[in-house]
Amino acid sequence: MTLKGMVKGMRNMLGIYVGKWFYDKGIPFDAANSPYFPPMVNAIQRAGPGVKPSTAYELSGPILDEEVDEVKKWIEEYKQRWPRTGITLMSDGWLNKVSKKGFLNFLAYSLKGTIFLSSKDVSGTRKNANFYVRLYDQIVEEVEDKYVVQFITDNARACVFAGNNLMNMMKHLIWTLCTAHSMDLMLEEIGEIKIVKETLQEATLVSRFIYNHSTILFLLREQSKKKEIIRPAITRFATDYLVVDSIQESEGAIKRFAYQ
């Protein structure tokens, strides 16, 4: 056997055993695209035979602690730039569909990038203007208000009041509406126009029909060279328009499939 053949055989064996681990634990295949996957394999190769793999206890205990310390160190290095560049605070609300709990996530953006700051459980809370005023003031104080030059929130009336109140209290701070949320609200209103509403509904029916029938989906993928039609989402109105655009792009494939 040639050297090339030996390397190919060893790589195939490696793939088989890595695959078994993926299949056994139901690990998503795109986990292999993680930037940490190749270094992990390289580290195993360098360790050589006889070295025992890390145990579940080690991974959930001391090794995890080391990783947390490394992340904290990175965040502190990140924060050292705040006095020079300032930061933009961003608020993002979401609902856990399983527990039905509502959360507000807060992130900080600067030239170095974005980091997660904290998450607040707002379930069962009356989300009026006073609530947001207190919450926003608390978050700004936690990161030191002198570093905050901008605060971005969604467009709810209570958030608008709280944002304006922040600017009155902190003259150096600019409060801004979330552009994505503004566009989403605009698209929601446009979607109420009769012809637009009917078009969106028809596109949604086409998409759901295709994805609810595996045979049709398989045949369409063959015609469209594996290109997917975007599925409609429940909450984001922009997705409905993307579904229409996706169907229009796949019009040729859909017609070829229909004429078969």
Listed in order, strand segments (DSSP E) in the chain are 87-95, 102-110, 113-121, 148-153, 174-177
Chosen domain end from 133, 153, 177: 177
Is there a single domain that holds both residue 199 and residue 228?
yes
- Does residue 44 carry a pLDDT above 70? yes
- In this predicted model, what pLDDT tens digit does every residue of 54-69 receive, in sequence order? 999 999 999 999 999 9
Proportion of the chain above pLDDT 70, given as a percent: 89
Is there a single domain that holds both residue 173 and residue 194?
no
Give a yes or no: residue 37 inside a domain: yes
Is there a single domain that holds both residue 136 and residue 118?
yes
228 token code pair? 């997917």
Check if the beta carbon of residue 176 is closer than 8 Å to that of residue 151. Answer: yes
Q: What is the reported pTM?
A: 0.64
DSSP helix/strand/coil, 105: strand
Q: What is the pLDDT of residue 234?
A: 44
- Domain residues for the domain of 220 are 187-259
- Does residue 126 carry a pLDDT above 80? yes
Is there a single domain that holds both residue 166 and residue 83?
yes
- In this predicted model, what pLDDT tens digit does every residue of 146-168 receive, in sequence order? 889 999 988 888 888 888 888 88
CATH of the domain at 93: 3.30.420.60
Mean pLDDT on 169-189: 85
Q: What is the pLDDT of residue 156?
A: 83
Q: What is the pLDDT of residue 157?
A: 86
Give a yes or no: residue 49 inside a domain: yes
Give a yes or no: residue 58 inside a domain: no
Give a yes or no: residue 63 inside a domain: no
- Does residue 5 carry a pLDDT above 70? no
**68 residue type, one letter:** V
Give a yes or no: residue 59 inside a domain: no
Which is more confidently placed, 258 or 127? 127
Is there a single domain that holds both residue 148 and residue 83?
yes
Q: What is the pLDDT of residue 94?
A: 80
Give a yes or no: residue 64 inside a domain: no
- Does residue 88 carry a pLDDT above 90? yes
Is there a single domain that holds both residue 93 and residue 172?
yes
Is there a single domain that holds both residue 128 and residue 38?
no
**Overall domain count for the chain:** 3
Query: Which among 257, 154, 153 is positioned nearest to 206, based on CA atoms?
Result: 257
Is there a single domain that holds both residue 85 and residue 41?
no
